[in-house]
Structure 1
Amino acid sequence: MSVRALLIYMCLAAAPAFGQGFAGLGTEADGFSVPQPGTAFNFPADHGPHPGYRIEWWYLTANLQAADGADYGVQWTLFRSALAPVERSGWSSPQLWMGHAGLTTQTHQFVAERSARGGIGQAGVTAAPFAAWIDNWQMAGRALPEADALSALDLRAAGRAFSYELALDAKGPLVPQGVQGYSVKSEKGQASYYYSQPFYHVTGTLTLPAGAIAVTGQAWLDHEWSSQPLAEDQTGWDWFSLHFDSGEKMMGFRLRDGGAGFTSATWIKADGRPQPQAPGALRVTPLETAAVAGRSVPIRWRVQLPEKGVDVTIRTLNPEAWMDTRFPYWEGPIRFEGTHAGRGYLEMTGYE
């Protein structure tokens, strides 16, 4: 989704004061590689880690339904952060890893968190065959040899009082975000490399205190990496992934800076062809807030993309979908209606 590396970066032992962009993400790259426009993705290699860049994440969200019509949301995220722009083996590795798992119902939010040091096999990512893991949480590829490595995945995670095991099968292509995968985050030009697989069909089982629930639905995977993705004055973001009932999709985000903010969006046609929108074309307006974990957090939004005739009102499935991790944020499933209808996911960071 978008730029969403706050959590792993904040665990850096050498992190500076957080006045330089949200969670320090506006600091200088300090010897790390920096994304450049016009760089083509190289798959399957780019499904794997990029240790020359400071921050990276593999971020999956799923909108799921049970046979009785009840809605659920699932999140599975693996973050990588580097203390230095080099790679070493064993305990000398500068790579830090963090995993987040969430399961949202209409009345409860289940959350678990894992952390690991790189170089010892406890966490990592391989490109082909694709595998991402931290402890026994896994996102394991099962693609056919001739298919993209992310085209079929098995996903599992477990925490206190919940677990899930899901099978994901892509029904469309990978989608570069921004201009051919170069996603600009500010007027000053900070950027990341960013692509998505937003076309997963999902089947599987959620296990909650009341028992196992068979579910089906849609999932969206983001892979993004950078070294300095925010400007110094950006204080947080609001990220939306929308699955329209028509088969089209949209990714959009607003980076907050105390003023109008910086917005970006990609319109994704039903056949997977991306149409990046000009900065500022996306308009997002909070309509209602609620007290969540002692913070005032928007729980209803108006989202507009006039170029595509989009004017929708978004509501959260569970306003209390708070990720109560070491560095907390809001993440949960949404529904929307208006000129278009459908489901999606919302992430909000930096609300104090």
Structure 2
Amino acid sequence: MNAKSLTVSLLSFALAMPHAAAAQGYAGLGTDAEGFAIPARGVALQFPTDHGPHPDYRIEWWYLTANLRGDDGQDYGIQWTLFRSALRTTNHETATLEGVWSDPQIWLGHAGLTTPNQHFHAERIARGGIGQAGVTAEPFAAYIDDWNMVAEARKPNQRDALDSLRLSARGADFSYQLNLQADGPLVLQGEQGYSVKSATGQASYYYSQPHYQVSGTLNLPDGPVTVQGDGWLDREWSSQPLAPDQSGWDWFSLRFDSGAKMMGFQLRGREVYTSGTWIEPDGSAVPLPPGALQAEPLRHTSIEGRTIPTGWRLTLAERNLDIEVDAINPNAWMGTSFPYWEGPVRISGNQTGIGYLEMTGYAPDGD
């Protein structure tokens, strides 16, 4: 593939995704998955192999967020995400003829840094096969250009290849360099890693490492800030994770002062589908049945011509949970190729704490 056709492929991928939301699920994730592998119940996840890429599936991501407190007393949040998306299934005959330029994988990197008053973001796009981006399972390394999520040398008593990571990214006005140390086990979301996304059965493989202690430096326009806090890594792959009518999702990763944690999401379609996982302080996980978690928007913010719910009430009757979740910075908008809201939140109510919120698929007002 020559440089011109490579550029066209990248731009087509980046520009087509936002317009797929209405009829085919957010970012085209509800389109038919013919030719790609489909997640199935009862398949045991394998580590460290599953930390690496799954090219037979159409979409996957390595997604890390962190709630941080600076030595200046301010709250901060960071996001680091690497997406892999396949333009087509792998054709080994074509791959032999065309070499690395036939690689059907497109990689996107998103980085965000949120302060109480500012939100910074950056995006990188790369074609697979040319060494610009990729992931290896062990030793674990995920990268795009000079952004990196890389495992430290494995220690004898380390549980998993992801237990100790170094993280870095930069944009025009910010950068960060962070160290992450896990003090708890991996969490398999859903049914031992099989996460159902709709009443019609769309699903993904999904696991998390929600137990990171984080330290390092944020570099902002006003200078560097030393930070400490907590991090959460999500790993997910599928080929059609949304039903065609699902326009987007609201996803919460919450860390309570009691020591418990919760991942919860709702997918918005003709009907709302909710699911999640309750994580005990010892790291043991209990899946939440569909519909158990209830999410009600309370406060909204106007951003880029969209009305975005940046304050929520969440209830979970089986845990007697009744909380409000509010954005630390309501204007944490990721104006990337497929735009979405992403930022740190505070928790109040009968549980208190901190967390992260991601919201996708909110169309401009009037659409």
- Compute the TM-score of the two structures, normalised by the length of structure 2: 0.91
Instruction: Kindly indicate whether residue 44 of structure 2 is the aligned counterpart of residue 40 of structure 1.
Output: yes
Distance 1:183 1:152 in 2: 26
Q: CA deviation at 1:83?
A: 1.6
State the SS of the aligned residue for 1:11. helix
Supply the AA of the counterpart residue of 2:166: D
Runs (5+) with no aligned partner, structure 1? 1-7
Contact 1:235–1:350 (Cα < 8 Å) also in 2: yes
Residue of structure 2 equivalent to 1:49: 53
The CA deviation string for residues 138-194 of structure 1, in whole angstroms up to 9 with x for no partner, is 001014254311000000000011000000000100000001000000000000000
Residue of structure 1 equivalent to 2:74: 70
- Over the residues paired in the alignment, what is the CA RMSD in angstroms? 1.8
Q: CA deviation at 1:290?
A: 1.4
Supply the AA of the counterpart residue of 2:285: P
State the SS of the aligned residue for 2:24. coil
Name which of 294, 317, 330 aligns with 2:305: 294
After superposition, residues 219-258 of structure 1 pair within 5 angstroms as: 219-258=231-270
Higher-Rg structure is 2
Name which of 162, 176, 181 aligns with 2:193: 181
Q: CA deviation at 1:13?
A: 8.8
Q: CA deviation at 1:300?
A: 0.6
Residue of structure 2 equivalent to 1:213: 225
Q: Which moved more, 1:17-26 or 1:304-313?
A: 17-26
Distance 2:133 2:24 in 1: 29
Q: CA deviation at 1:14?
A: 8.6
Supply the AA of the counterpart residue of 1:314: V
Contact 2:108–2:123 (Cα < 8 Å) also in 1: yes
Instruction: Kindly indicate whether residue 325 of structure 2 is the aligned counterpart of residue 323 of structure 1.
Output: no
The CA deviation string for residues 245-279 of structure 1, in whole angstroms up to 9 with x for no partner, is 111110000000144x0000100111111100100
Contact 2:27–2:338 (Cα < 8 Å) also in 1: no
Name which of 89, 99, 102 aligns with 2:112: 102
State the SS of the aligned residue for 1:46. helix
Q: CA deviation at 1:24?
A: 2.0
Supply the AA of the counterpart residue of 1:93: D
Identity of aligned residues (%): 61
Moved >3 Å (runs of 4+): 12-18
Q: CA deviation at 1:31?
A: 0.7
After superposition, residues 57-136 of structure 1 pair within 5 angstroms as: 57-86=61-90, 88=95, 90-136=100-146
Q: CA deviation at 1:11?
A: 2.1
After superposition, residues 132-171 of structure 1 pair within 5 angstroms as: 132-144=142-154, 146=156, 147=158, 148-171=160-183
Runs (5+) with no aligned partner, structure 2? 1-9
Residue of structure 2 equivalent to 1:283: 294
- Compute the TM-score of the two structures, normalised by the length of structure 1: 0.94
Supply the AA of the counterpart residue of 2:278: W
Bigger share in helix = 2
Distance 2:338 2:165 in 1: 28
The CA deviation string for residues 38-71 of structure 1, in whole angstroms up to 9 with x for no partner, is 1101100000000000000000000000123210
Distance 2:362 2:25 in 1: 14
State the SS of the aligned residue for 2:85. strand
Q: CA deviation at 1:22?
A: 2.4
State the SS of the aligned residue for 1:180. coil
Contact 1:26–1:229 (Cα < 8 Å) also in 2: yes
Contact 1:143–1:150 (Cα < 8 Å) also in 2: no
Distance 1:293 1:286 in 2: 19
Instruction: Kindly indicate whether residue 316 of structure 2 is the aligned counterpart of residue 312 of structure 1.
Output: no
Contact 1:12–1:81 (Cα < 8 Å) also in 2: no
State the SS of the aligned residue for 2:198. coil
The change in CA–CA distance for 1:80 and 1:341 in structure 2 (over 3 A counts) is same
Contact 2:14–2:337 (Cα < 8 Å) also in 1: no
Q: Which moved more, 1:283-292 or 1:16-25?
A: 16-25
